[in-house]
């Protein structure tokens, strides 16, 4: 029998726009099975890479997010230790094929894949990364750059907490967003009791 998929919604926080030159500070992940079942969560903060720098524009942005910065930098682990722990967590779901889900995947997957391959020489996702905004483009049948959150149906966001730049919170929130989008695409009524509160 073919393995079912498990959707690992991931959000990362960083001190710059690209991995290697800059560091991933925090990683949050939430594992979902469809239609809308939160299975487990994972979160870890990481120490900066030894040779990395901090991007000045990114750090100016962080100054305006003091609570999120505090959350992203508390009790950090060595980057290799954190990366290995994340791989071990994903591998717990052996009965499923993991799919990386992010918003945007071009940012979050780039960081996570770089860390996993550079520090651990493996990735449980291979190249399986689903971009939520691209999925919205297909569901809404609108141009990609028009598929911003403000143009998405409000029902997709019902019960989902505000994006607060705390990695685990945002990973959970965007995971529920993906599940709601998938449900809408499959023709389920989002108001049905089976969906509960996101």
Residuewise pLDDT in 10s, the chain (198 residues): 689 999 999 999 999 999 999 999 999 999 999 999 999 999 999 999 999 999 999 999 999 999 999 999 999 999 999 999 999 999 999 999 999 999 999 999 999 999 999 999 999 999 999 999 999 999 999 999 999 999 999 999 988 989 999 999 999 999 999 999 999 999 886 554 333 333
Residue 182 known to be catalytic:
no
pLDDT at 192: 46
Q: Which helix (H) or strand (E) holds 185?
A: helix 167-186
> What pLDDT is recorded for position 195?
36
Q: What is the spatial order of strands in the sheet that 24-33 belongs to? A: 37-45, 24-33, 4-14, 96-102, 129-131
CB 108 within 8 A of CB 16: no
Q: Which residues have CB under 8 Å from 45's CB, separation 6+?
A: 25, 26, 27, 72, 73, 74, 75, 76, 77, 82
Closest listed residue to residue 158, CA positions, set 137, 183, 141: 183
Domain ranges in the chain are 4-195
Residues 6+ positions from 143 with CB-CB distance below 8 Å:
137
Which numeric CATH code is attached to 4-195? 3.30.420.10
User: What is the full DSSP assignment across 112-151?
Assistant: HHHHIIIIIS--TTTT-EEEHHHHHHHHHTS-GGG--GGG
What are the backbone angles phi and psi of residue 178, rounded to the nearest 5°?
-60, -45
- The catalytically annotated residue of 165, 182, 188, 190 is 165
Length of the chain: 198
């Amino acid at each position: 029998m073919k393995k079912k998929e498990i959707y690992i919604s991931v959000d990362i926080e960083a001190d710059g726009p690209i991995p290697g030159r800059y560091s991933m500070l925090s990683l949050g992940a939430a594992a979902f099975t469809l239609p809308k079942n939160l299975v487990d969560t994972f979160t870890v903060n990481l120490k900066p890479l030894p040779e990395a720098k901090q991007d000045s524009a990114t750090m100016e942005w962080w100054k305006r997010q003091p609570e999120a910065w505090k959350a992203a930098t508390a009790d950090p682990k060595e980057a290799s230790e954190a990366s290995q722990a994340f791989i071990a967590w994903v591998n717990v779901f052996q009965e499923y094929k993991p799919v990386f889900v992010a918003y945007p995947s071009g940012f979050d997957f780039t960081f996570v894949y770089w860390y996993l391959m550079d520090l651990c020489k493996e990735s449980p996702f291979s190249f399986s990364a689903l971009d939520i905004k691209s999925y919205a483009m297909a569901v809404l049948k609108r141009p990609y750059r028009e598929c911003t959150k403000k143009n998405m149906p409000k029902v997709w966001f019902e019960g989902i907490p505000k994006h607060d730049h705390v990695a685990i919170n945002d990973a959970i929130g965007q995971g529920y967003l993906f599940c709601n989008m998938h449900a809408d695409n499959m023709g389920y009524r989002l108001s049905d009791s089976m969906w509960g509160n996101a």
